[in-house]
Structure formats: C-alpha cells, structure tokens
Chain A
Amino acid sequence: MVDALKGAINFLTAPEIFITLASVLFFLSMRYKAFWAPKVALALGILGAIFLAVSMLDHNFALIVKKPDNVPIVAMLFLVGFFVWLSMHQAHQNDERIARGEPPNEASNGENEKTWVWPDLVYTELLCMIIGMIVLVVWGLAFHAPIEEAANPARTPNPSKAPWYFLGLQEMLVYYDPWLAGVVFPSLIIVGLMAIPYIDMNPKGNGYYTFKERKVEITIFMFGFLIQWVLLVILGTFLRGPNWNFFGPYEYWDLHKLLALNNVNLSEYVWVKALGVGLPKNMFVREIPGILATLVYVVVLPGLLARTWLKKYFEKLGPWRYAVFVMLLLLQIALPIKMMLRWLFDLKYIVALPEIFFNI
C-alpha cells in the first residue's frame, strides 16, 4: 500500500507530468478565487507540512531533504507559498472592497499618497536586519556551513548542480542549447523585468493589491515566477539526481540508473520520417523546416496576434511597445513549448546547426 502510494507519487513527479499538472493547477487557481480563501490556504499549508513530515520517514526522501544545502529550499517553499497567498488574498479582498465602492484596504485611513517612514519604516527595517542576522547565525551553526572536497577536474561531483537559485536555469539546459538557455534567456529575464514599467502603463493597482484590475499581468508574471522559476528550482533540487537523471522523491539516487535519450531534430522528422529522403547535404537546406518554423514564430505570429487575440493590447500599447511585449511573451512561452515538444515528440532541436554552433 505504502509502496504503491510512493510509486504513484514517484510517477506523478516525472517532469512532464509534474510541470503539466502544476501549470493546470496554477491556471485553475488564477481562475477560481475560492482557492485563496484562508481556510483552503491553511489546509494546503498543513497538508504540505504533513506530507513533508510523513515523507521524512522514507530514507531516500530524508537523505535529499536533510542535505544541508537543501534545507533552506524547503523553508523557501513554505515562504513562497505564504507570501503568494498573502498577496493574492489581499488582492481578492481589495477587489471585493472596490466592487462595493470602498477604497482598497491600504487606503482605508483616507491616505493614499504617503506612508510612515520615521520611526515606523526605519524601525521595521532595523528589526528585519536583526532577525535576518539571527537566522543567518543559527543557520550557520546548525549546518556547519558545509564545505565539500577539494576541487578535482578528474572527479566532478555527480550530479553537478548549480547553486540552488540557478537550478531553474540548469533545468532549461535540458531543453535548450547552452547558448540560449545559459546566455540569451537569462539576459532576457533581466531585460524583461527591467522593461515591465515601460510596457505596463496600467495605473491601477499602484500602492495596493488587486487581481481583477491586472489579471493578465499578474497571471503572466506569476506563471514565470512560480512555474518557470520556483518549480524548476524544486525539480532541480529534489528530483534531479546523478547524471541529471530524474528520480522520484522516494527513489534511491542510483549512480547506475540509465535512461535512453533518443531525441531527434525537426529536420529528421521532416526529411527522414515524413518525406522518406535522406538529410540534405547543405545545412541550411536541411534546416529549412526549423528556420521557417522559427521565423513564423517570431515574425508572423506577432503580426497575427496583433490582429486577433492581442488586438486590445496592440491598440493600447502602440506598435513599438507591443512589439517588445509580444517578443518577450513569446520567448517566455518558448520554454514550455519546447518542453512539451520534447516530452511528446522527443524533439531535440528545432533548428540544429552544430556546424556553426547554433541550435534552437
């Protein structure tokens, strides 16, 4: 019974199922506000804690979770959950107040331009510093600031993992060429975050939480943060083991476990499988299907969207702002798209030009 349950959980945590389920759950939570009711949130939090506590009885689970490096990530999960809930809960409350014609909670004292700085804010900051220092010292004492063996090029650790906050990026490496996953996408994340205030001109929600007034913006951001960042960190920390193979939470990290990675490029699908001819010798001819698909994605699709689904935004933002916005959006979605393609079709690269070190 217990083994069956563990087996089921191991199965459900396979990346394709795990990420898909999480995404579905995420969109449902955005759709139904009952999800953010305090009782539901509390129940979920308690369930999570119970799950963790019971799972610690499993040797393999405990081994990974108790690793000094991983302990703060467990703590982070609960903190992320709490703060997301807190903001969403307040947003929904404010939405109700606004619907009733009242000012949002933050402006309930009639003040919506200023906030207390001295001594209130400064005092609070001081307290935060003290608490932060206490946490750091206790953390250091409790886990003895683990240091590993002397670096040895002949013996790299297996799995070789990035620092926990970069594990999302490392997970991207499974699906994208290092050039894109390691250089272009991370840069775009920073550029995109910097661009937000210039693209998002909606004045609503300034100084108070609201969901109704900023549905799309919040959903896009939260998808990026929760699914594409935090979830991938979880996956990378707890579920990626030796040889970067996937291991269920109750599975032993066996160095010798083997997985076949029989992935093929789009060009092979087109030329070899569909048309039944060999791969063309000229690399550009060979990659024409992928190049076309990419061009359609980044050139044709924005125009098409401007006339259809995103017509409202095109009109509101104007052509330049719209162009930046839609490019960032498309690139953000490129990751889940590529993941799906990999899981469903074993697709390796859409455009594969190893001759010039360029793959998409």
Chain B
Amino acid sequence: MAKPEPGRDPEMATRTEKLSVLFAVTSILLLVTFSWMIWADYNREWKKYQIEFGQLEIKATEEQRKAAEGKIGADRLAALGAAVAKGDADVAAKRSEIAAAQKEADKLQAEWYAIDQNYRFTKANIDVKRYDYEEAAHLGHSDAAKKKAKLDALEAQWADLRTKLEDVLARQAAVNARIADLEKTRLDAEKAQKEATAELQRLDAKLKKDQQGFVFKVRNLPVLDLANPSLKVQQIMPASLNDDVIFIQTPKVDRCTTCHLGIDKKGYEKAPQPFTSHPDIDVYLRGPHPIEKIGCTVCHQGRGRATSFVNAVHTPASKESEEAWGKYSGTKEYERWHLWDQPMLAKGHTESQCLKCHQGNVEVPKADRLNAGVMLVERYGCFGCHKIKGWENLRKIGPDLTKIATKTNEDFIYRWIKEPKGFRATRMPQVWDIRVNETADQKARNDVEANAVTAYIVEKSAKDGAYPAPPRGDLGKGKKLFESVGCLGCHRIGDDRRGVEGFTMASFRSHGPNLDGTGSKVNAGWLYSWIRNPKGYWHETKMPNLRLTEGEAGDITAYLMSLKNDAFVARPRPALDVKVRDTIVREYLTTQFTIKDADAKLAAMNDHDRTQFLGEKTIGRYGCFGCHVISGFEKTSPIGVELTEEGSKLVERLDFGFLEHEIPHTLPAWVKQKLLEPRIYDRDKPSKKPEELLRMPKFHVAPEEADAIVTAVLSLTKEQVPLAAQKQLSGDERVVEKGRRLVRDLNCQGCHQIGAKGGSMRALIADQLETSGGDPIQAQALSPPMLWNEKSKIGEGARVHTDWLHGFLQHPENHIRPWLEVRMPTFEFTEEQTNAITQYFAAQDKVPYPYEPKPVTNAAMIAAGKDLFGRWQCVKCHVVGGKLPNQDPANMAPDLAKVPERLRADFLGHWLADPGSIMPGTRMPSNFPENASENAFPEILGGDQKKQIEAVRAYLLTLGPKGASTLD
C-alpha cells in the first residue's frame, strides 16, 4: 500500500477544509469576544453620570448666561455693538494710511528680527570666549592675553548691537503708536465691549467647552479615548492621609468626585444624586476642610479608589434605601460589599470620624450627634465597665456606697437595684429581669442575687453616725426656695422638660439625679445634712454648696421628703430562697476549687457567710463597682470589653447569636441592638450556663439616644491620622478646652448660658414668671448672667478683672446682685481650678491675662463723665455703694461702686456703646448713639459717641467703695 502523500490525500483535504470552516467560525467568535471585552472595559457606570451631569451643567450655564445678559441689558449690548461698527467704519476710511504704516511696521519687524538674533548669538559667543579666557588665565597658558582680546572685541560688538536693537525698538514703538492712534475709535469700542461682556464671554467659552457634540463623541469613543478623553476618572489625593490595608499604609486616593460631580459646586442642592451639592460646602469642602486637602473618605469612610457604587461600599441609612439600592448590587435588597474593612458610614454616623483629627476638644463644633453621644457616654458612665483610652481614672459616676446604710434602708435598696427605672427616671441601669425569654428558674436566681447584693452592701456600709432629725420646715416655703434658689439647674422632678434641649439625659438639667420620690428613698436627717454640706457625706460629689441656712435647709428637706412613691415602696420583696442561694454559691465555689473542696467550704459557711459570699460574687460578676465605690472592690478591674478601638472592630468579631438574619450585619447595627437590649444575643440559647450569659445591664435608652451613643462608639477608632493632618490646638485653645472641661464637669451651663448652649435656669425663671402672672421678659434680669456671647465674642473674661473673678469664684456670697433669688453656689474650688477657670474666660475672649492696661484719663474728661452720669440718671436703676434704688428687683442693676475693681476698662467702652449686643435682653439702655445728631446731649463733647463713653468710663473708674468719686 502506497503511503499517502500529504496534500494529495483526499481524506486529508476534506479534513483541512473542515478545519478551515472551524477556523472561520472561531475567528469570528474571537472577534466578538474581543469586542465584548473592549465594550466591557469602556462601558463604566461613571461615564453615564458624567454625561448626565454635563447636560445638567449646560442647562445651568445657559441659565446663568441668560441672567448675565439680562443684567447688562439689550440696549447696552446694542450700543456696544454699534460703537464697534462705527470704529470699523472709521478704520475703513483711513485704510490707505493704515496700510502704509503697517507696511513700515512689517519692515521694522524684519529688521528687528535680524538684529535681535545677532544680538543673542553674540551673547552666547561671549559666554564661550569668557570661559576659554578664564580657563587659560587660571592655568597660566601663554595665549590668555590673545583670548582676552577676542573676548573684548566681542563685548564691544555686543554693546554696538544693543544700541542698534534699542534704536529699532524705538522706531517700532513709534509706528505702532501711530497705527493705534489711527485705529483708536475701533480699539476703544472693542475694549469697552470686552469689559462689559467679560462674564458672557466666560460663559460662552464654557458652553462651547461643555457641548457634547461631534468632537466630544469622537474623543470619548472606545480605544480613541486613550488619547485625551473628556470623560475621565476624577481623583483627589489628600496630603498625608492613608488607607490602612493591613500590612502597609497606602496614600488615600478619593475618586468619589468622578460621579459626585456637583459635590463642591453650589446650585445643585436640588439636583438628584449623585450630583447633589454637599449640604455644607463652606465648612466641609472649602474653608477649614478643603476638599483638595482632605478628600472624602477620611470622614465618610468607604473605598476611595472605587469608581462604582458597590465597590465604594455605600451604606444605606434606612430600610427604604436598602430596597431602593438593590439595583446597584443586582439583588432584591442592596447587598453591601464586604471586602473592605472600613465601609462607608451611614448618614448620621459620619460625625464619628471628627475626633480622629479634633482631639482634645470637649465638644466638636457642629457635630451635634457625636457631642450628644459623648455626653451620654459620660452620663451613663460606660467607661466604668469598659476601658476606653483617654477616659481612665475618672470619678465613678454613681454615688459612693460605703455609707449607704445611713442614707436609706435595706428594703429600699433591694427594690431599687431590682428595677431602678420603676422608681424614677434614672441613669442607673437594670441588672436583673432583663434577659430575653427569662425562665422562672432564672427569675428565682435573680431574686436571690439581688437579696444577696443588698445584704452585702448593707453589711459593708458604715452604719454609725445616724443623722439627727432635721428642724421642722415649711413645705410651701421649701418648694418655693427649691424652685428658685438654683437646684433646678441640675435636677429635675418627674418629667419636667423646661429648659431641656435634645436628649433629656444629655441635658444640663440631668447633671444631678431626678429627685422624684426622694421622700420614699432617703431619710430626712440624711437629706438635711446632705443639702447643707454635700461634701461632708461624699467628698467627691459634684454637688456644690448653696449656703442654705438651717431654716432654708429645713424647708427644702420638708419639701423633698413630701415627694413620695408609695407604690414602689409597697412592692413585694421576696425572702431569700436558701436553696437557690446555696446552688449558686456552690456553682461559684466549684469553678474555683475542686468539687470536694467546694462542698467542704460550702458546709463550713454559715447562713450569713453564704449570703455575703454570694453578694460579693454577684457584684463582681455584674460589675456594680464600675460606677459605685463599694468596700472590697477598690482595686477590681472592670468587667466590660475594652472599647478603645471598638469603632474599628471587624464585623466578624461580633457575635450576632441567632439574630444573624434579623438585623443588618454591621457594627453600628450590632452596637445599637446591644444598647437597646443588652442580653439579646443570648436569645434561643437556653442551655448556656449562668456564668456564660451576657452581663451588660439595660439602660432603657431610646433608639435615638442609642444612635447617638453608637456614633460616639464609632468614633473610637484605631485609625491614626498623621499629626500633620490633625487639628492642632493653639495655646489659647488648649486653655479654653481645659476650662470647658471644668464647665462641663461642674455643669455651669445648668445656670449660665455660655455660647449658644446652657442657661436652663433662665427658661425656668421665664416659665415661673409666666405661671405667676409676671412678665417673662424680666427673666434675663433675674437669671444668672450669660458668660459668653458667641456673636459679639465678649464674655466674662472681657468683662471682669481676673482678680475679681478669682475672688468671686472663691467666695460667691459676695455677689453683685444680692436681690436675686437664684444663688451662685460655693464649689470649694482648688486654686488650680480657679486659675483654670479665670484663664479660660480670658483666653476665650482673647483679652490680656491676668493684668490689663489702665486707660488714660484727665480731669476734664472725668468732669464731663460726671455730668453725663448725672444727666442720664444712672442711679435710678443702679445700686451705688450698697444703696438700693427704689425699683422692682427686675429693674435693679449692679452696684456701680464695684465697677473699678470688677470691670475691665475696655469692656466698659463696648458695654456702654451697645449693651444688647453683649447681653441680649438686658434692661440697660443704649444711651450713646453712633450718630452724633441723635445724641441726647450734643452739647457735651460735641455729642461724639466715643468721647462721651470715654468720659463716663473715666468717671466710673474713679468711684470709691461708698459710691462717691474718689476725686471729689
């Protein structure tokens, strides 16, 4: 059989043909897939948005153009056009003359070109020859002199050329001036038109640039767009900010503006997303937080490098967005990308990131939710159980329990710890009976545990020194005094929300406990002694001393003891179930000892010991000592999880229990649920052993409160912003923040308004005036003073001498308005605190601290001042040297004899000019108008505002302690 010849074998030929067909088919398929690939690479989500925004922008520009045109007016435009036409005609008339001049100019141009080139080339040659000569001279070559001659010759030539060049330039200038003169009318008309329509031309240029016509389409075609497309990814590279990608920090690159095109432009407030303007452009994209420096993701989180909705890890804030966003992830409900550790923060939580850069601030300006959250963390004392860096070694927020037995009784303690909220609105959380699906067995254990804790606390408490019965007081008088002397600046009774803004628990009036039912809680002797001297019972208390007399204290005691909650006191208190107690005691013992030893130990304990043992163990388990000083727990470490980096906790680290599919699988959702129902992650796990159950008590926070706390928790991030990118407090700012810390801790704003916040007392007084039929406008005059006016930036620091303020803080009984019912309490400040406060006020007002220069005066000024003082009848309202004017207290004004020692001279000037701008609502009239013609006494110092004020001030500063001028 002959071997088949390749190519001639018919079988092979048919096979090759078949392969060719296959080749054709696969080649076409390959072309299709390649086209698909190019299209997939080209067809990006963001391009759609850029085209759409381009159209929006054209529309906006057209509108702007119309407005600009309207502003100039059609008549003016026509006139400008006519002027140009006239200029054209004028030029046409002089055509031949201009042409001749132009010809001359062209000739001169050619001449200039040749000379200028020669001039520049000669200069280059000079540099070469100079080098040659210097080199030869340095090396001592014999031809140095020859080289020098050459150089000199060139220099001379160059000087000659320069003369020629200057000559040509002069002639050129002359010809050009002649041409300009000939064309003057036209040039002037054109200039005028250009100036008037500059805005129009700018907008026209922009419109031309933005048109999405043929050029736009070709530039952005697939493949061609590699050259210079107009649709392109926009990015911001903020300085010194990094993304933490675990092994390294990579510089942040934020491409958010690729789609969010209107974010930094005003006028798109109502445009649909992603084009909407930022809600506060001036603060967050310009001004203190320029977008080109800080970008987007340092505040909003998410993946800055992403250019698609899903990859940027957008987070929905509501169920509705979750459903509406399904289209982006291609699912029914939006599914958030889980491959980035810092998902974008849902609307509202963004404030949590402020603290990364604004450290050391008591409050971050404008971050209301964060501030409220931080305040709640302080108020609820989260740091008692959870270690948080920066919150260590703070005073425990609950009262000291080492003397509790002298304050209240055992039955009350039991009922109270069992359900604090059942008695009154309180910060104390509930430890027992709050498990989800609590069993009867667990309930029985709860009763036993609470009983044991009560027994333990009472046993450890000092019991000696029972308080004597207080003097008999008048209930009515006590109520009136309680409501007017200032107690209500820090305390509330029942659901009183007067003067409360935002969350009740974060308000100034929740600084101290709600006093509802006090009569059912404490014994009268204790209460009397407490309000007379709070620090006597508990040296760390924040409650100041109101300097109540025995009678006053007796009255207030009578009133507070009349506030009862009988239903609560009547609640049953089950007796301690010994069997259950022993079971629990044995559980504790067996975890510590062998079973045999545990049983032996249990047997060795008597009834009392067992209860005490259980009480101690229970307090240890639930961490009561995180908030209270309890004997035996002075050095125990807190029971909670450390929260220092909680905001960066990975969601994988959280135990969602069986709620996995019920709440969003996110950190904020988990924390919120935990706050609302702390033990819920134990749900459906009935086989958990008692020691394995969750222990966090329930604070009964409202969902909105929980949201604020979540924001505060999210601010505890491990992300480190480089120092260079952080806000650095100046020396003065640091002093101010230190003062603000004290102001916050002592709740000064319960009575005083400082900035926009505080002054709850004023709202209360206004309310009291209203209900008693008085005029609420008088409230300002009867309230504690405003200590800082945010608008005029003038406050206590600018107002009073440091020395006076220092003395006043030490001895507030030396007040300047003795007729007020409300009292500045004695805080028993340390010298350090007094200094901090005085310096704080001075730094806040940017006035000299502690001394200030004295104004220059002369006798004539003082005399004029005295004259004005008399004419304006200042003493009609002002106390002088302790002598009260014949006025209603609301109209009385501070003692003028105290002015020299109290008020700063600079302040007096501002105050006399416009008191209302410093203390809104003050009764002090504004007597010195700016306009001299309106002055009541134009004959004095020519009615000049400044001079008159200086004169009055000069006179006031001479007043002695009796009120008479020391110069008289």
Could you list which residues of chain A lie within 8 angstroms of chain B, going by C-beta atoms?
109-111, 116, 118-120, 123-124, 126-127, 130-131, 133-134, 137-138, 140-141, 147-155
Q: Is the CB of B12 within 8 A of A120?
A: yes
- B339 interfacial contact with A, CB 8 Å: yes
Tell me, yes or no, whether B245 is within 8 Å of chain A by CB: yes
Mark the stretch among B32-40, B622-630, B814-822 that contacts chain A.
Answer: B32-40
Q: Would you call A120 and B246 a contact (CB within 8 A)? A: no
How far, in angstroms, from A130 to B6 measured CA to CA in the complex? 25
Residue of B nearest to A151 (CB): B246
Decide: B6 and A116 in contact? CB cutoff 8 A.
Answer: yes
Q: Is the CB of A127 within 8 A of B40?
A: no
Inter-chain contact A134/B29, CB cutoff 8 Å:
yes
Contacts of A151 in B (CB 8 A): 246-247
Smallest CB gap from A138: residue in B:
B33
Kindly state the separation between the CA atoms of A153 and B246 in the bound complex, as whole angstroms.
8
Please determine whether A137 and B34 come into contact, CB atoms closer than 8 angstroms.
yes
- With CB as the reference atom, state the residue of chain A lying closest to B9: A116
Give the top 4 A-B pairs by smallest Cβ distance, nearest first.
Answer: A149-B339, A150-B245, A152-B246, A130-B26
Q: Which residues of A contact B6 (CB under 8 A)?
A: 116, 118
Of the candidate stretches B16-24, B433-441, B463-471, B594-602, the one touching chain A is B16-24
Closest A-chain residue to B11, C-beta based?
A109
Contact across chains for B1 and A150 when beta carbons are under 8 A apart: no
CB distance from B943 to the nearest CB of A (A): 75
Other contacts beyond A109-B4, A155-B652: 5, CB < 8 A: A124-B19, A130-B27, A130-B30, A134-B29, A149-B341
CA distance A130 to B3 in the complex (A): 32
B99 at the interface (CB under 8 A from A): no
Q: A140 CA to B41 CA in the complex, in Å? A: 12
Please give the distance in Å from B14's CB to the nearest CB on chain A: 11
Q: Report A-chain residues with C-beta under 8 Å of the C-beta of B34.
A: 137
The closest CB in chain B to the CB of A130 belongs to B26
| CA distance in complex: A134, B33 (Å) | 6
Q: How far is the CB of B81 from chain A (nearest CB, A)?
A: 58
Residues of A within 8 Å of B36, CB to CB, are 137-138, 141
Whole-angstrom distance from the CB of A143 to the nearest CB of chain B?
A: 12
Listed by A's residue number, 18 A-B pairs whose Cβ atoms lie within 8 Å are A111-B3, A116-B6, A116-B12, A119-B19, A120-B15, A120-B16, A123-B16, A123-B19, A123-B23, A124-B19, A126-B23, A130-B26, A134-B30, A137-B34, A149-B338, A149-B339, A151-B247, A152-B246
Q: Is the CB of A110 within 8 A of B1?
A: yes
Closest to B22 in A: A127
Contact status of A119 and B16, CB under 8 A, knowing A126-B23, A152-B341 = yes
Does B650 reach chain A (CB closer than 8 Å)?
yes
Task: Tell yes or no: B340 within 8 A of A by CB.
Answer: yes
For window 19-74 of chain B, which residues contact chain A by CB distance below 8 Å?
A: 19, 22-23, 26-27, 29-30, 33-34, 36-37, 40
Contacts of A152 in B (CB 8 A): 246, 341
What residues on B are CB-neighbors of A118 within 8 Å?
Answer: 6
- Name the A residues within 8 Å of B11 (CB-CB): 109
Contacts of B29 in A (CB 8 A): 130, 134
A110 to B34, CA, bound (A): 44
Q: Which residues of B contact A119 (CB under 8 A)?
A: 16, 19
List B255-298 residues whose CB lies under 8 Å from chain A. Answer: none
In the complex, which residues of chain A have a beta carbon less than 8 angstroms from the beta carbon of B338?
149
CB-CB nearest in chain A for B39? A141
Contact A141 to B40, CB < 8 A, known contacts A120-B12, A150-B245: yes
Tell whether A137 pairs with B33 under 8 Å between CB atoms, given A120-B12, A149-B339: yes
Residue in B33, B34, B650 with the greatest tally of chain A CB atoms within 10 Å: B33
List residues of chain B with CB within 8 A of the CB of A154.
246, 650
* B19 engages A120 (CB within 8 Å): yes
In the complex, A69→B946 CA distance in Å?
A: 83
Contact B650 A127 (CB under 8 A): no
Cβ of A121 to closest chain B Cβ, rounded Å: 10
Cα separation A140 to B34 with both chains bound (whole Å): 12
Smallest Cβ-Cβ distance to B37: which chain A residue: A137
Note all chain A residues with C-beta closer than 8 A to B33: 133-134, 137-138, 141
Q: Which of B3, B11, B245, B246 has the most CB of A within 10 A?
A: B246
Q: How far is the CB of B45 from chain A (nearest CB, A)?
A: 13
- Identity of the chain A residue whose Cβ is nearest the Cβ of B20 in the assembled complex: A123
How distant is A237 from chain B, measured CB to nearest CB, in Å?
21
Contact B23 A127 (CB under 8 A): yes
Give Cα A124–Cα B37 distance, bound, in whole angstroms: 25
Cα A119 to Cα B12 with chains together (Å): 9
CA of A116 to CA of B26, assembled, Å: 22
**Interfacial chain B residues near A126, Cβ < 8 Å:** 23
Decide: A141 and B37 in contact? CB cutoff 8 A.
yes
Of B3, B15, B26, B27, most A-chain CB atoms within 10 Å: B26
The interface residues of chain B lying within 8 Å CB-to-CB of A141 are 33, 36-37, 40
Residue contact B26 to A131, C-beta cutoff 8 Å = yes
Residues of B within 8 A of A109 (CB): 4, 11
| B19 and A150 contact, CB distance less than 8 A | no
Q: Identify the interface centre among A118, A130, A148: most chain B CB within 10 Å of its CB.
A: A130
**Could you tell me the distance between the alpha carbons of A62 and B33 in the complex, rounded to whole angstroms?**
27
A residues less than 8 Å from B246 (CB atoms): 150-154
Residue numbers in B under 8 Å from A148 (CB-CB) = 339
Task: State in angstroms the CA–CA spacing of A110 and B3 once bound together.
Answer: 9
In the assembled complex, which residues on chain A have CB atoms less than 8 Å from the CB atom of B26?
127, 130-131, 134
- Per the bound structure, the CA–CA distance linking A141 and B39 in Å amounts to 10
What is the bound-complex CA distance between A131 and B23, given in angstroms?
Answer: 10
CB contacts (< 8 Å) of A153 on chain B: these are 246
C-alpha gap A127/B23 in the complex (Å): 6
Give bound CA distance, A126 to B20, whole Å.
Answer: 11
CB proximity of B339 to chain A, nearest CB, Å: 4
**Roughly how many angstroms separate A118 CA and B652 CA in the complex, as a whole number?**
59
Report A110 CB to chain B, min CB distance, Å. 5
B5 to chain A minimum Cβ distance, whole angstroms, is 11
A124 to B22, CA, bound (A): 10
Partner of B19, one of A127, A138, A140, A147: A127
Residues of A within 8 A of B3 (CB): 111
Task: Please determine whether A150 and B30 come into contact, CB atoms closer than 8 angstroms.
Answer: no
Measured CB to CB, the nearest residue on chain A to B650 is A155
Residues of A with C-beta under 8 A to B245: 150
CB B670 to nearest CB in A, in angstroms, measures: 15
Q: Please report the C-alpha to C-alpha distance between residue A127 and residue B16 in the assembled complex, in whole angstroms.
A: 12
The distance in angstroms between the C-alpha atoms of A120 and B4, with both chains bound, is 14
- Nearest CB in chain A to that of B337: its residue: A149
Q: How far is the CA of A140 from the CA of B36 in the complex (A)?
A: 11
Indicate if the CB atoms of A149 and B340 lie closer than 8 Å. Answer: yes
Distance in angstroms from B679 CB to nearest chain A CB is: 18
Closest Cβ of chain A to B208, distance in Å, is: 38
Contacts of B15 in A (CB 8 A): 120
Q: Given the complex of chains A and B, what is the CA–CA distance between A130 and B22 in angstroms?
A: 11
CB distance from B932 to the nearest CB of A (A): 72
Q: How far is the CA of A147 from the CA of B245 in the complex (A)?
A: 14
Task: Collect the chain B residues with CB atoms within 8 Å of residue A124's CB.
Answer: 19
Contacting residues, chain A, for B16 (C-beta < 8 A): 119-120, 123
A242 to B3, CA, bound (A): 63
A120 / chain B contacts, CB cutoff of 8 Å: 12, 15-16, 19
C-alpha gap A270/B34 in the complex (Å): 66
- Cα–Cα distance between A148 and B246 once the two chains are bound (Å): 14
Residue on A with the closest CB to B339? A149
Residue-wise interface mask of B (435-473) relative to A, using a CB-CB cutoff of 8 A (1 in contact, 0 not): 000000000000000000000000000000000000000
Identity of the chain B residue whose Cβ is nearest the Cβ of A126 in the assembled complex: B23
What distance in Å separates the Cβ of A116 from its nearest Cβ neighbour in chain B? Answer: 6
Q: Mark B618-651, 1 if CB is under 8 A from A, else 0.
A: 0000000000000000000000000000000010
Q: Which residues of B contact A130 (CB under 8 A)?
A: 23, 26-27, 29-30
Instruction: Name B199-258 residues within 8 Å CB distance of A.
Output: 245-247
Q: How far is the CB of B543 from chain A (nearest CB, A)?
A: 46
A-side contacts of B339, CB under 8 Å: 147-149
A residues less than 8 Å from B1 (CB atoms): 110
**In the docked arrangement, what's the CA distance between A123 and B19, Å?**
7
CA distance A131 to B338 in the complex (A): 35
Chain B residue with minimal CB distance to A152?
B246
